[in-house]
A and B are shown apart, each in its own frame.
Chain A
């Protein structure tokens, strides 16, 4: 399951960031790496991007970017 499938208000643990393009690299550099707990806070008024929190800070990611983040609950 990936992060875009996690309902708003819930948290999950990252298992993998797939792909090796600039998006996944950027996500990992921002600290989205296996073992980290990520919570989904809200979606933007137009439905995309979404706001997530991890390591005590908040991040906006597009839904297609969130799909690269594999998680387990």
Chain B
């Protein structure tokens, strides 16, 4: 027994750690995927939202642990990505050991720019092996590269590779094994002899300048010696595509069409698999209920756990579809063009050009929308986008709007043909957008004010996407969502189930028959269900908060609905059905529910609902942060309890204020 750990520790000592560094669009991800295949682990670096991708790479019978650093154009520590990359290269990230060597991925068609990162990486003193990608494209563009001349002047191995066909990967492995074995620090041949100071002299402007100039001067020399028959790449195809895709007139039209396609897919195409998932989990719950003896245990499994897991899984179709589009748009190079075209518009609202897609997606659901903010490099811009994305009216709010409109405004018309319901719906969407713009401008001017964050962004040449990589990224995102946010969502949904379920002490004594007499025409089951909800902790909380809700015109039954809708906003509708004794299966337009809402009375005999209450409730739903899944995702994505609490407080505060104003002003005006 005592000998067992020994070989293991020897093995882990001999297991090399190799970091993979490269610019975005350098072919780094493709290389990572072909080296590691499916042996990948995706997590977050501790305390930040930067993704940590790790994979196993077998070289000459040895296992290498390959760490895929985030895509970088420099190692400046200006963004969280760059800071993490620096920390990995200095061995100061907990849980990540100092790499034995670094594979720097360099695009042969963009040699000077990409060699800049190589010079920076080399300054960390870790052996560097260069993987030269896109050599076939360079050939086509008339760039003749001499890898051995490059290697001679850089004093580093330079291995031309083709990740997709696997060409050169064996040589790369051999070079990496040699570099890791020899552990010879790269020679820093540019400028300063004193490289020890560079890590902390970045604040001194003159030093920064001379450092950058020295690196680029060295690179120009290398370039001149290693590249023959120099011909500036023409980017002929890219230029032709850009003539249309970023055209003054056609560019925006195509952009709108693409955004509509993305929106359409997550708003409506995702519905089919989502319905199937919901039905599947519903059927599973029924099956469990049929098999297990009636009681708390069966209810917990069916209504708590299975419903909770279903509530997590139901987001997957939207997440997968959205990330399919995002990967495609990023891989082809179109995402940078979209940001290029939208930046002017979005800066006016205090947002980054890349915030557009996350915000559009949030009209379907804030969950995939917030997950997709990862495409925004600047952390401040990303945080602002996350803070306003939940204000977009998501599809879960629609059933609530629909119920209110169907009940109170269905027949009304303005000017004889414009339906009041449609106008009302439009107003709710507009309100969300307006508040989001104001909120982002306020955040930009206050808490998230920053010195000029540079926009400076590369417009890469258009390329065909790598389908395998696209699918891998989709699956990674989905599994991360299930692991990270999914567990939180499941836990909260079980708590919410318990709140509406307990206490259960006197249910056998409840006289359903007596209740049924009181409410003619309702089934005893529905009455029992209503009674249980009233008596539950959720019902008690609803009653307890009634004084707070009264100035909004809401009675305690609406309060119960607001609490239950924390599980998902559309649950408000089914909760109202239960509480008004019409059974939990009614949808937002079912006539019995509409009638029940109209007929509902407060204890003093006045109607519980008026058109004004309906409008107030809609305003509340537009603004309130009452979706636990969103809160869980925001917490995971910001890695900050403070910002998560801020989001809940500011949105719900606004919702209360706006609903209060709506109801009080409406009442004053006589509605």
Give the interface of A toward B (CB within 8 A).
20-23, 25-31, 33-34, 42, 44-49, 51, 55-62, 65
> Is B76 a contact of A25 with CB atoms below 8 Å?
yes
**Assembly CA distance A53 to B458 (angstroms):** 10
**Assembly CA distance A19 to B453 (angstroms):** 14
* Most chain A beta-carbon contacts within 10 A, residue among B112, B213, B340, B451: B340
Q: A26: which of B112, B242, B456, B459 is its contact (CB, 8 Å)?
A: B456
**Assembly CA distance A28 to B336 (angstroms):** 20
Q: Is B466 an interface residue (CB 8 A)?
A: no
**Assembly CA distance A49 to B345 (angstroms):** 11
Give the residue name and chain of the A residue nearest to B238 (CB). Answer: A58
**Assembly CA distance A48 to B340 (angstroms):** 8
> Is B454 a contact of A22 with CB atoms below 8 Å?
yes
**Assembly CA distance A62 to B342 (angstroms):** 12
> Is A45 a contact of B341 with CB atoms below 8 Å?
yes
Which A-B residue pairs are the 4 nearest by beta carbons? A20-B205, A46-B344, A26-B454, A58-B459
> Is B212 a contact of A23 with CB atoms below 8 Å?
no
Q: Is B247 an interface residue (CB 8 A)?
A: yes
The smallest beta-carbon distance between A70 and chain B, in angstroms, is 14
Interface members, chain B 195-237 (any A CB < 8 Å):
205, 208-209, 212-213, 216, 232-233, 235
> Is A44 a contact of B112 with CB atoms below 8 Å?
no
Residues of A within 8 A of B76 (CB): 25-26, 29
Q: A48: which of B116, B205, B339, B344 is its contact (CB, 8 Å)?
A: B344
Interface members, chain B 237-265 (any A CB < 8 Å):
242, 246-249, 251-252
> Is B112 a contact of A31 with CB atoms below 8 Å?
yes
**Assembly CA distance A7 to B40 (angstroms):** 49
> Is B252 a contact of A57 with CB atoms below 8 Å?
no
**Assembly CA distance A28 to B73 (angstroms):** 12
B63-85 Cβ-contact flags toward A at 8 Å (1 or 0): 00000000001101010000000
**Assembly CA distance A29 to B113 (angstroms):** 9
Q: A23: which of B73, B213, B343, B452 is its contact (CB, 8 Å)?
A: B452
> Is A60 a contact of B455 with CB atoms below 8 Å?
yes
Q: Is B271 an interface residue (CB 8 A)?
A: no
Residues of B within 8 A of A31 (CB): 112-113, 116, 216
> Is B73 a contact of A56 with CB atoms below 8 Å?
no
**Assembly CA distance A49 to B251 (angstroms):** 14
> Is B208 a contact of A20 with CB atoms below 8 Å?
yes
Residues of B within 8 A of A45 (CB): 246-249, 251-252, 341
Q: A60: which of B212, B232, B336, B461 is its contact (CB, 8 Å)?
A: B336
> Is B109 a contact of A51 with CB atoms below 8 Å?
no
Residues of B within 8 A of A47 (CB): 344
Residues of B within 8 A of A55 (CB): 110, 112-113
Q: Is B457 an interface residue (CB 8 A)?
A: yes
> Is B341 a contact of A46 with CB atoms below 8 Å?
yes
The smallest beta-carbon distance between B204 and chain A, in angstroms, is 9
Residues of B within 8 A of A28 (CB): 208-209, 212-213
Residues of B within 8 A of A29 (CB): 73-74, 76, 116, 212
**Assembly CA distance A59 to B454 (angstroms):** 12
Would you give 16 A-B contacts (Cβ < 8 Å), ordered by A? A20-B205, A22-B451, A22-B453, A26-B76, A27-B456, A29-B116, A30-B73, A46-B344, A48-B344, A55-B112, A56-B232, A57-B113, A58-B235, A58-B460, A59-B456, A62-B343
Residues of A within 8 A of B458 (CB): 30, 57-60
The smallest beta-carbon distance between A17 and chain B, in angstroms, is 8
**Assembly CA distance A29 to B393 (angstroms):** 41
The smallest beta-carbon distance between B334 and chain A, in angstroms, is 13
> Is A56 a contact of B343 with CB atoms below 8 Å?
no
The smallest beta-carbon distance between A18 and chain B, in angstroms, is 11
With A22-B454, A28-B209, A51-B340 given, name 19 new contacts (CB 8 A): A20-B208, A22-B78, A22-B451, A22-B453, A25-B208, A27-B456, A29-B73, A29-B116, A30-B74, A30-B113, A45-B252, A45-B341, A49-B340, A49-B343, A56-B232, A57-B233, A58-B460, A61-B456, A62-B343
Residues of A within 8 A of B111 (CB): 56
**Assembly CA distance A22 to B351 (angstroms):** 19
Residues of B within 8 A of A27 (CB): 454, 456
Give the residue name and chain of the A residue nearest to B75 (CB). Answer: A29
Residues of A within 8 A of B73 (CB): 29-30
> Is B110 a contact of A57 with CB atoms below 8 Å?
yes
The smallest beta-carbon distance between A65 and chain B, in angstroms, is 6
The smallest beta-carbon distance between B341 and chain A, in angstroms, is 5
> Is A56 a contact of B344 with CB atoms below 8 Å?
no
Residues of A within 8 A of B246 (CB): 42, 44-45, 51
**Assembly CA distance A49 to B457 (angstroms):** 10
Q: A21: which of B344, B451, B455 is its contact (CB, 8 Å)?
A: B451
The smallest beta-carbon distance between B604 and chain A, in angstroms, is 57
Residues of A within 8 A of B110 (CB): 55-57
**Assembly CA distance A29 to B119 (angstroms):** 11
> Is B459 a contact of A59 with CB atoms below 8 Å?
yes
Interface members, chain B 453-490 (any A CB < 8 Å):
453-461
The smallest beta-carbon distance between A60 and chain B, in angstroms, is 5
Give the residue name and chain of the A residue nearest to B232 (CB). Answer: A56
**Assembly CA distance A33 to B455 (angstroms):** 18
CB contact under 8 A between A56 and B233, given known A22-B452, A45-B247: yes
Give the residue name and chain of the B residue nearest to A59 (CB). Answer: B458
The smallest beta-carbon distance between A20 and chain B, in angstroms, is 4
Q: B343: which of A25, A33, A48 is its contact (CB, 8 Å)?
A: A48
**Assembly CA distance A2 to B339 (angstroms):** 24
Residues of A within 8 A of B345 (CB): 46
> Is B113 a contact of A65 with CB atoms below 8 Å?
no
> Is A30 a contact of B456 with CB atoms below 8 Å?
yes
**Assembly CA distance A29 to B457 (angstroms):** 12
**Assembly CA distance A28 to B456 (angstroms):** 11
The smallest beta-carbon distance between B622 and chain A, in angstroms, is 29
**Assembly CA distance A25 to B340 (angstroms):** 21
**Assembly CA distance A55 to B459 (angstroms):** 13
**Assembly CA distance A22 to B202 (angstroms):** 11
The smallest beta-carbon distance between A33 and chain B, in angstroms, is 6
**Assembly CA distance A21 to B203 (angstroms):** 10
